[in-house]
């Protein structure tokens, strides 16, 4: 019998792989692996665990530190209906604000939530959900895999919600009321059960909200005051992207996954900084060879105070930091591997994984309770 570790990714090594303290921004890194049993980890620049939270549900996707020091957690709601294949993996819906000591001080439930959520400065929660498309509009959805609608021929479409501390809806944006199906066709490789598949919702300046629409290859900015689409980055720039964020200069930082990038046979990911007005890529990070950096789905990019960029290569549990010149100055591989605990999720993504939706870097002064 072989004594070798059967998990390929773990055999490559885990924990802190590399660090250049003189050029790294330093600080602390927070991550909640998809299959670590609802644990969220905070590690220091040396890769050492300095704090953990144990939550009642595995992540629906993300965990963040809030300005008051508490954890904002997006848990996988155990009673969410099984809408379609893959829903068990990427839905959330069990939100909690948890103190460093593990006390839950606020909760919100929405079994139709999926992917991203943002905890706003006013205490509200901004997140994405789905509703079935009206039949007349569903008939207009173009592209995708023929016959791959949800049971009953249903196509679910994205709704963006903002709720207050009492769970009351303060703002709502239904995708089909503002996006013309003919202008946002599904990529041919994606199922038709979800359109346009919003995997990120990010507040930006002057009342804007950035949305990443994975299955139609677009990042858009919408105006919360008018609900109008202000600008769009299309499939000539992004490919199955995640995690757009607005930088101080007005540019947008994007994790560009690149699984089906047009006219390129070698899948590879990259981080791009885009001027959304001129539609120009003004900075990018990619590895050489390109396939050395690749996450087919999920992914994160965070611009740090010293100008470096912190990157989550999600599918491989790889967290790393690069300089503006693209030099890696910190790298860590998540050591927590396990299978998804529920049958529906395992059927969609079998095997042990150390995957994480997104990780976040914090400066020491943002975590005063840790001192």
pLDDT, tens digit, 9 for 90 and up, residues 258-301: 999 988 899 999 999 999 999 999 999 999 999 999 999 999 99
What CATH number was assigned to the domain covering residues 8-370? 2.120.10.30
**Predicted pLDDT at 1:** 65
The owner of tokens 């994984």 is 353
Whether omega for the bond prior to residue 196 falls within 30 degrees of 0, making it cis, is: yes
**Predicted pLDDT at 3:** 78
CB 28 within 8 A of CB 51: no
Structure tokens at 266: 């070698």
Tell me the percentage of the chain whose pLDDT exceeds 90.
Answer: 94
Provide the residue ranges of all domains of the chain, joining segments of one domain with +. 8-370
Average pLDDT over residues 173-177: 98
Residue 341 has pLDDT above 80, yes or no: yes
Parallel/antiparallel/unpaired status of strands 194-195 and 169-174? unpaired
Phi, psi of 251 (to 5 degrees): -75, 170
CB 110 within 8 A of CB 60: no
Distances (CA, A) of 343 to 79, 165, 191, 228, 340: 14, 33, 21, 40, 8
**Predicted pLDDT at 8:** 86
Report the candidate in 328, 267, 255, 262 with the shortest Cα–Cα distance to residue 298. 255
Residue 2 has pLDDT above 80, yes or no: no
Average pLDDT over residues 42-57: 97
**Local confidence band at 306 (pLDDT 50, 70, 90 cut-offs):** very high
125-166 tens-digit pLDDT: 999 999 999 999 999 999 999 999 999 999 999 999 999 999
Exposed / middle / buried, residue 332 (Cβ in 10 Å: 0-12, 13-18, 19+): buried
Residue 7 has pLDDT above 90, yes or no: no
Residue 15 has pLDDT above 90, yes or no: yes
210-269 tens-digit pLDDT: 999 999 999 999 999 999 999 999 999 999 999 999 999 999 999 999 999 988 899 999
How many other CB atoms are there within 10 angstroms of residue 67's CB atom?
Answer: 8
DSSP-derived secondary structure letter, 205? G
Distance between CA 203 and CA 165 in Å, rounded? 18
Which residues 6+ apart lie within 8 Å of 122 measured at CB?
Answer: none
The owner of tokens 């909640």 is 32
Provide the mean pLDDT of the chain. 96
**Predicted pLDDT at 256:** 98
CB 7 within 8 A of CB 328: no
CB 21 within 8 A of CB 45: yes
Average pLDDT over residues 15-38: 97
Annotate 118-141 with b (16+ C-beta within 10 A) or e (fewer): bbeeeebbbbbbbeebeeeebeeb
Residue 59 has pLDDT above 80, yes or no: yes
CB 317 within 8 A of CB 323: no
> What H or E segment, with its residue span, contains residue 347?
helix 343-348
Distance between CA 229 and CA 232 in Å, rounded? 8
**Predicted pLDDT at 353:** 96
Structure tokens at 29: 């890194």
């Amino acid at each position: 019998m072989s004594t070798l570790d059967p998990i390929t990714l773990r055999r490559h090594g885990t924990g802190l792989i590399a660090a250049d303290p003189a050029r790294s921004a330093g600080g602390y890194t927070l991550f909640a692996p998809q299959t670590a049993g609802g644990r969220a980890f905070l590690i220091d620049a040396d890769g050492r665990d300095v704090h953990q939270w144990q939550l009642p549900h595995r992540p629906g996707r993300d965990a963040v530190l809030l300005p008051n020091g508490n954890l904002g957690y997006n848990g996988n709601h155990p009673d969410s209906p099984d809408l379609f294949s893959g829903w068990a993996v990427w839905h959330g819906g069990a939100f909690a604000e948890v103190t460093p000591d593990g006390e839950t001080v606020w909760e919100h439930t929405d079994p139709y939530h999926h992917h991203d959520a943002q905890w706003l400065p006013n205490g509200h929660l901004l997140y994405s959900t789905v509703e079935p498309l009206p039949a007349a509009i569903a008939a207009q959805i173009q592209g995708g895999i023929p016959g791959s609608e949800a049971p009953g021929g249903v196509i679910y479409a994205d709704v963006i919600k903002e709720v207050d501390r009492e769970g009351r809806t303060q703002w709502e944006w239904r995708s089909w009321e503002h996006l013309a199906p003919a202008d946002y066709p599904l990529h041919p490789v994606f199922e038709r059960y979800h359109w346009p598949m919003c995997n990120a919702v990010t507040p930006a300046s002057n009342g804007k909200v950035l949305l990443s629409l994975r299955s139609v290859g677009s990042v858009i900015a919408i105006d919360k005051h008018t609900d109008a689409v202000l600008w769009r980055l299309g499939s000539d720039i992004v490919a199955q992207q995640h995690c757009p964020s607005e930088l101080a200069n007005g540019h947008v930082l994007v994790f560009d996954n690149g699984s089906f990038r047009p006219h390129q046979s070698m899948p590879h990911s990259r981080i791009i900084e885009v001027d959304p007005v001129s539609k120009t890529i003004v900075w990018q990070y990619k590895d050489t060879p390109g396939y050395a950096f690749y996450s087919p789905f999920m992914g994160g990019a965070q611009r740090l105070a010293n100008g470096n960029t912190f990157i989550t290569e999600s599918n491989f549990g790889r967290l790393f930091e690069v300089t503006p010149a693209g030099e890696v100055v910190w790298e860590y591989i998540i050591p927590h591997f396990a299978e998804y605990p529920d049958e529906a999720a395992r059927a969609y993504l079998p095997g042990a994984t150390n995957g994480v939706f997104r990780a976040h870097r914090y400066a020491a002064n943002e975590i005063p309770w840790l001192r």
